[in-house]
Structure 1
Amino acid sequence: MRVLGFMTGTSLDAVDMAVLETDGETIEAFGPAGERKLSDDVRKLVLAATEAAREWPRDAPEPEIFAQAARAVAEEHLAAAAPFLEKNGLTWADLDLIGMHGQTVLHERPTDGRPGRTVQLGDAAWLADQTGRPVAFDFRSADVAAGGEGAPLAPIYHLARARAAQMTPPLAVLNVGGVANVTLWTGVGELSAFDTGPGNGMIDLLVQNRGAGRFDDKGNYASVGLVDEGVLRALLAHPYFDAPPPKSLDRYDFSLEPLSELKLEDAAATLVAFTAEAVRLGFDKLAAAPTQVIVTGGGRHNPEIMRALRERLSAEVVSAEDVDWRGDAIEAEAFAFLAARTARGLPISFPSTTGAPEPMKGGRIVTPAGPALQQD
């Protein structure tokens, strides 16, 4: 089937899009991929929804802003996809299915017998009505309800992508997004995965809080800063790093407070080291040592992060483009793939990737109630 996958990450940068032809087991063809930057209004609305989510008691109704933000996110998806499809000679009718991850505003891992919570906003029913195509969404809730972490979900796609490229294990895929997560493929169908620690998220928040932009473009601040080893040790003392995998994080699980006395450049350099050292610690918990680490996500665009990873990891570290993968499209491709698996009733999470009690089906599919939106 031909599936359009959408991904909007916690960096609140863009709507990523990718078309795959897949049955949810193998990749038959790679269609076009692209992105559209989020509008400032939607970014502000999602940030407000995120703040509401962080203050939301478990026994209270969901914040009213969720519905408003969910519609706005869906509208942003439609605004991104319509010109993208037209540019690539496609119409909505050419698609069999849409996979929409939605915008994460809350992710709490299960702790001490308390189940986790995860919220991804996006009005899938509205998007289905507007496009006339079925939409797969809500990929994480079933896993969380069963006691799993709900993340990461891309590992089964990483396996399919590696196989499509005729790669061989042991191989690791490291996604450095707002949070960093690793997938290890050790053998035929054998996967393990977990969040290693912060990715770009803390660096983005640092730069934003200091009024220095939205992110550290090309690592410019970090490149002239010095790592504060005392602050780095304090950050690495977080109990998360002693917890066994599978495990997951929210981008707000670590505080910027330990960096408050550092100048921007030194704080950015220290956070780069934190990201890389957290990955190294995570790799120490892997069942086998990979021979190669393929880095995806926005972090691969930061030369300082890539340099730090190469210094601290014993395996060869390469970017997605070095192995002819579409680094900016991997997660959108993944949710196209997961949508196909959802449609076929195949599991999307596993005990070794999320801690679920068994291989778990996930995602829901909503069908359109009316005719497709007509494209000009």
Structure 2
Amino acid sequence: MTTPTTDATRYYIGLMSGTSLDGIDAALVALEPTSAPRLIATHAEPITDSLQQTLLTLCHAHQVSFADLAFAEDAFCRQQAQAVKKLLAQQGISATQINAIGSHGQTIEHAPSGHAGGPAYTLQLDNPSLLAELTGCTVVADFRRRDLAAGGQAAPLAPAFHQVIFKQENTQQLVLNLGGIANLTWLPKDTTHPIIGFDTGPANVLLDAWHAKHQGGRYDNGGAWAASGQVDQPLLERLLREPFFHQPPPRSTGRELFHLPWLESHLNGDEQPCDVQATLAELTAISIAQGSAQLPLADQPVTLIPCGGGAHNPYVMKRIADHLPHATLASPSHFGWPEDWIEAGAFAWLAHQRLHQLPGNVASVTGAKGPRVLGGVYAP
């Protein structure tokens, strides 16, 4: 896509690889002083099967060697660099025209409440020094730990960006991101209310894992397999007893809680696989509805803006719509941001915030002590 530019236009690239582990999204974003961020171009770099398996192993390993971490980090960084180079070549732009790359990295483990009484931590596999070397661009990375140091959950970080690109006056909006994990951002009609955002539970992470085990492939295309099954109500009730679903915000989660062994620990063993898939879709929809019930929404009408890969799953979207009858769906494309590119766009914007010494978090979302400038800067 092409859009007009001015002398004040600054280009940033956002890189995002989420809990779905399906690819590296690269978004080229234009930022100007008097207008909202504009998406200029995109590139999706698939994560190779071997690297995906390595990352999955790291996410669920009880013991990891430094050599394993170094190998995975190097391979991941080189695929990030490929994504950047292909995006620049596609647009005929040189690295010198990019103000900065905002790199989220690949989350390996997220424990904002600590583990077994230990300190809070969040680990994103990343090598911004190598990325700067390979691309010739300034890189901003390590966004989450500054919020964590201020007592926050370090997630979600996209709500500040959601406010910038979606907020409309006198409109109550709910932004729903359906990645590996689902999260909500409430943009209240009454601006005296703070923005609220939090993870609601699993979205694609369990659906993809169960599908891969029984059907092969990385995901249930269109939710067709889930649609062929029936919701197993006793299983659904067992899954919904998970304490995370009943925690008040701020809250965040990831693969360290919601993974295949977690699901299998709730199975009796005689379930039909397609029924389990249907039940997982229902779990996603109900946990989102339960999360929205924790917001000051009551039964007020709300505009629901679905984002992420799960927004392309009509079966899951139908289940969500049935559980949120007061919501009216609005495509993020109406705001100039297609479903798949908002998270990557957020990290381009966060890189801009860091270079201009501006806060990137929303304390009412993460629970941090206040606004903080996020990320470290790595020169080429």
Return the TM-score normalized by structure 2. Answer: 0.89
Provide the residue aligned with 1:341 in structure 2. 353
Alpha-carbon separation, structure 2, partners of 1:195 and 1:290: 22
Give the match for residue 186 of structure 2: 184
Q: Percent identity?
A: 35
Alpha-carbon distance between aligned partners in 1 of 2:109 and 2:313, rounded to the nearest angstrom = 26
- Give yes or no for contact 1:24–1:338 (8 Å, CA) kept in 2: no
Q: Please state how far the C-alpha of 1:175 moved relative to its aligned partner.
A: 0.1
Paired residue for 2:6?
none
Aligned position for 1:371: none
Q: Deviations over 1:207-246 (max 9, x none)?
A: 1233532211110110110001111111111111221101
Contact between 1:199 and 1:299, CA under 8 Å: does it hold in 2? yes
Alpha-carbon distance change, 316 to 20 in structure 1, aligned in 2, over 3 angstroms: same
C-alpha distance after superposition, 1:167-197 (max 9, x if no partner): 6531110001000000011144831100011
Residue type of the partner of 2:312? H
Match of 2:51 among 21, 42, 51: 42
The answer to whether the aligner puts 1:77 opposite 2:80 as a matched pair is yes
Alpha-carbon distance in structure 1 between the residues aligned to 2:307 and 2:125: 24
Aligned-residue offset at 1:270:
0.2
1:244 to 235, 242, 248: 248
Q: Secondary structure at the match of 2:304?
A: strand
Structure 1 residues 91 and 277 mapped into 2: Cα distance closer, same or farther (>3 Å)?
A: same
C-alpha distance after superposition, 1:145-173 (max 9, x if no partner): 2221111000000001114xx56531110
* TM-score (structure 1 length as normaliser): 0.90
Supply the AA of the counterpart residue of 1:173.
Answer: V
Q: Pick which of 180-189 and 315-324 moved more.
A: 315-324
Note the C-alpha offset of 1:116.
2.5
Counterpart position of 2:308: 297
Tell me the residue number matched to 1:256: 263
Tell me whether 1:9 sits opposite 2:21 in the alignment.
no
Structure 2 unpaired stretches of 5+: 1-9
Distance in structure 2 (CA, Å) of the matches to 1:34 and 1:78: 12
Residues of 2 paired with 1:115 and 1:35: CA distance?
35
SS at match of 2:195: strand
Match of 2:212 among 202, 208, 212: 208
1:109 aligns to 2:112 (yes or no): yes
Task: Indicate the residue corresponding to 2:235 in structure 1.
Answer: 231
Which residue is 1:67 aligned to? 70
Structure-1 residue corresponding to 2:291: 282
Gapped regions of structure 1 (runs ≥ 5): 369-376
Paired position in structure 2 for 1:92: 95
What one-letter code is carried by the residue in structure 2 that aligns with 1:284? A
Query: Which residue of the partner structure matches residue 312 of structure 1?
Result: 323
Residue of structure 2 in register with 1:373 after alignment: none
Computed over aligned residues only, the root mean square deviation of the Cα atoms, in angstroms, reads 2.1
Q: Does the 8 A contact of 1:34 with 1:329 survive in 2?
A: no
* Deviation per residue, 1:287-337 (Å, 9 max, x gap): 235611100001111111100011000211344346553111111100000
CA spacing shift, 1:176–1:223, aligned 2, 3 Å: same
1:57-112 deviation digits (Å, cap 9, x = unpaired): xxxx9743222211111100111221221111212111111111111111123169
What is the one-letter code of the residue matched to 1:209?
A: K
Look up the equivalent residue of 1:184 and give its one-letter code. W
Structure 2 vs 1, CA of residues 198 and 340 (structure 1 numbering), >3 Å: closer, same or farther?
same
Q: Deviations over 1:251-288 (max 9, x none)?
A: 34131122443222101100000000000000010123
Helix, strand or coil for the counterpart of 1:329?
Answer: helix
**1: CA distance between counterparts of 2:363 and 2:183?**
16
1:20-61 deviation line (CA, Å, top 9, x unaligned): 122699525331122121112221222232233xx25xxxx9
